[in-house]
Structure 1
């Protein structure tokens, strides 16, 4: 390519008809905070459109009374999906589905399975991670989807054969999505979560978040859908999910939610809706939200949380990093000894090892409150270079990550 050796800015003389408009930075700046005033304007002045298929709207949240799935025609289901898509994209970002599960006896059976899993896991020594809350504040079951099946396949089949689940998921993600689930039981007296956005970029710390270009910050929300099934009645005193309608539309939201002024604004303006056992709640992962404080005397607020992923969040080929690291470690060490943690060393590590530690097993790779992402292979290799690990030592650590990441 000609001309690539001169990267200094130059003045355009218009002779070739090209524009002189300034190319804007691709990244949000960590040194320039997002505008709280713009955020306030967005969340207070956005207009809720009429959703004709919703039974009602409360606090800007559309509420749907779901009929029997088989009672609707294909066209009627598609019309519902059109409304849900608009809500998640351009509307308040959240909706409620009443009677998502009508068989309350099934909900209670599944809750019994979850309770059994929780009791078993409490006998296992080790730190238990939680999601944007202190360890041990709640009862948490990571990967309740797999554990439920292995514990009680009969109720698992009944529970996940609900045809509304793929219909709701497909409205946002299209076909071939993957559902995962995590149980959260919030005890009386438990404090509220910190307001946040969710997976993917919501699980990064602020510095890591800033490394993702603006377009990807927006695109992240199209890769997942958040949902929950109420496994207990959730009156307001029990602290059902706090929500800030329209906040998913704020492009700098992943940079903003950790900032104290935005957290305070959330606390002053969130809405919360009571849910009945069997109801569903679904929202855009970029919506500012938080589990509420349980001020009840005796309600164990229980929900099975869904994190549903687009089919497109996967690479084209499978790469087994273990043998690649085994073959290249000594050469990488030599490069590091000569030049330290040079750009070339970092470039090689970024290509040979996984930099993103998901999917993983969050029981074995315990998440921390301040940042949900465990250590990646890339971070491990840098540590190994700094500590002078042998090939055998680094491979043992890589194998540990791989083994601990399995379901």
Structure 2
């Protein structure tokens, strides 16, 4: 294995060796995690029905969260939950997203992409906010999903921030080059080398990558390619740029078909790439979830105030009907109290002041009307200004 003079020496691209990656990948166990249904191409496959049964108790949920975190960190770095979202719910949201795509196409303008040629496929940036504003009821019902929240809590804990980008790979659409994801995955090798070794270890725990299949995805449609256990390679943020690593990925990746409503979650340091759609008639749609730690920075700027204001009437009506909307609140509102202006927003009753999500929860509990919530949110925003 590559050695350095000190455990804190900077990582260098010149130290990247395919042999080191191969040694890691060839020495991994293949046991099935306790709550997984089975393992396919090294990837644990969980069923929604079993997870719902186990997480019905607090102890069961904690047990599953620990297992999922272990899979993402010390296991293959990827897992699938079959049937995570009901197909009818997926269809409702897909229709809403297609409307947004059509509107943005009509408005014109070039659409870029990451690790793929821009303009070939259809993509909605900041799909979270756009869906909330245009179709608030669909947003609430979709993000109230307890299994999406389960995966987010397992890797990130509470206060996480959901962002979403919808990607539609059209027939003939060419896949991506192998890469790692945000944060360090989106910096050049020259910049990446400037970050200390421990930051390379920290970066993956700040983000959870996920995708919800919005159509059936047989292999020929190009579902994402993965290299299980590759998140464990210490030099990975520098290595994936190199041709020898890209060739190794092409030769050794796995590719799992998905059904509509299946969800896949993976460690952002896992080597992966969207596949090519070789069909002539399937538009492969996925909702790509980038879920950020409360302690990290999301890639996309998202107006949480606008989202909460848009969906609050739907949250009220669902709550009145006895629907648990807690996970929809977590996906939409700011769940962490900082940064704030501590002159104006002092933590009088504890270590931190109320979060935006706390304000929404309190308003829902009292059945407060939208205009009352608007006043409280305005006060929340004002307390975070410095002038």
TM over 0.5: same fold?
yes
CA distance in 2 between counterparts of 1:180 and 1:86 reads: 23
Hey, what does 2:65 align to over in structure 1?
Answer: 81
Matched, 1:54 2:36: yes
CA distance in 1 between counterparts of 2:127 and 2:299 reads: 17
SS at match of 1:123: helix
SS at match of 2:26: helix
TM-score normalised according to structure 1 size: 0.70
Matched, 1:189 2:172: yes
Superposed CA deviations along residues 260-305 of structure 1, whole A, max 9, x for unmatched, are 0000000000001110000000000000000011111211111000
CA distance in 1 between counterparts of 2:103 and 2:126 reads: 15
Hey, what does 2:361 align to over in structure 1?
Answer: none
Superposed CA deviations along residues 172-200 of structure 1, whole A, max 9, x for unmatched, are 11111101000000111111110100000
Q: Residue 96 of structure 1 contacts residue 280 of structure 1 at CA under 8 Å; is this kept in 2? A: yes
Hey, what does 1:254 align to over in structure 2?
Answer: 237
Counterpart pick for 2:102 among 119, 125, 147: 119
SS at match of 2:11: coil
- Tell me the CA shift for residue 45 of structure 1: 2.0
CA distance in 2 between counterparts of 1:115 and 1:63 reads: 29
Change (3 A) 1:293 1:22: closer
CA distance in 1 between counterparts of 2:45 and 2:197 reads: 32
Task: Give aligned pairs, total.
Answer: 297
Hey, what does 1:28 align to over in structure 2?
Answer: 11
Hey, what does 1:40 align to over in structure 2?
Answer: 22
Matched, 1:106 2:99: no
- Tell me the CA shift for residue 35 of structure 1: 1.3
Superposed CA deviations along residues 61-91 of structure 1, whole A, max 9, x for unmatched, are 0000112737732222222212211111101
What is the correspondence of 1:100-249 to structure 2 with a 5 Å cutoff? 100-102=84-86, 104-249=87-232
Change (3 A) 1:70 1:83: closer
Q: Residue 124 of structure 2 contacts residue 167 of structure 2 at CA under 8 Å; is this kept in 1? A: yes
Runs of 4+ in 1 over 6 A off after TM superposition: none
Superposed CA deviations along residues 202-243 of structure 1, whole A, max 9, x for unmatched, are 011111111111110111001000001000000111111100
CA distance in 2 between counterparts of 1:250 and 1:130 reads: 26
- Tell me the CA shift for residue 47 of structure 1: 1.5
Q: Residue 49 of structure 1 contacts residue 91 of structure 1 at CA under 8 Å; is this kept in 2? A: no
- Tell me the CA shift for residue 359 of structure 1: 4.2
- Tell me the CA shift for residue 122 of structure 1: 1.0
Hey, what does 2:262 align to over in structure 1?
Answer: 279
CA distance in 1 between counterparts of 2:127 and 2:116 reads: 19
Q: Residue 61 of structure 1 contacts residue 96 of structure 1 at CA under 8 Å; is this kept in 2? A: yes
Report the RMSD for the aligned CA atoms in angstroms: 1.8
SS at match of 1:207: helix
CA distance in 2 between counterparts of 1:141 and 1:241 reads: 18
- Tell me the CA shift for residue 168 of structure 1: 1.0
Superposed CA deviations along residues 310-366 of structure 1, whole A, max 9, x for unmatched, are 01126xxxxxxxxxxxxxxxxxxxxxxxxxxxxxxxxxxxxxxxxxx95447xxxxx
Change (3 A) 1:23 1:78: closer
CA distance in 2 between counterparts of 1:161 and 1:56 reads: 27
Greater CA radius of gyration, 1 or 2?
1
CA distance in 2 between counterparts of 1:130 and 1:282 reads: 21
Q: Residue 38 of structure 2 contacts residue 46 of structure 2 at CA under 8 Å; is this kept in 1? A: yes
Hey, what does 1:301 align to over in structure 2?
Answer: 284
Unaligned runs of 5+ residues in structure 1 are: 1-20, 315-356, 362-407
TM-score normalised according to structure 2 size: 0.74
Hey, what does 1:96 align to over in structure 2?
Answer: 80
- Tell me the CA shift for residue 125 of structure 1: 3.2
SS at match of 1:211: coil
Change (3 A) 1:41 1:298: same
SS at match of 1:140: strand
Change (3 A) 1:164 1:24: closer
SS at match of 1:212: coil
Hey, what does 1:380 align to over in structure 2?
Answer: none
- Tell me the CA shift for residue 23 of structure 1: 4.3
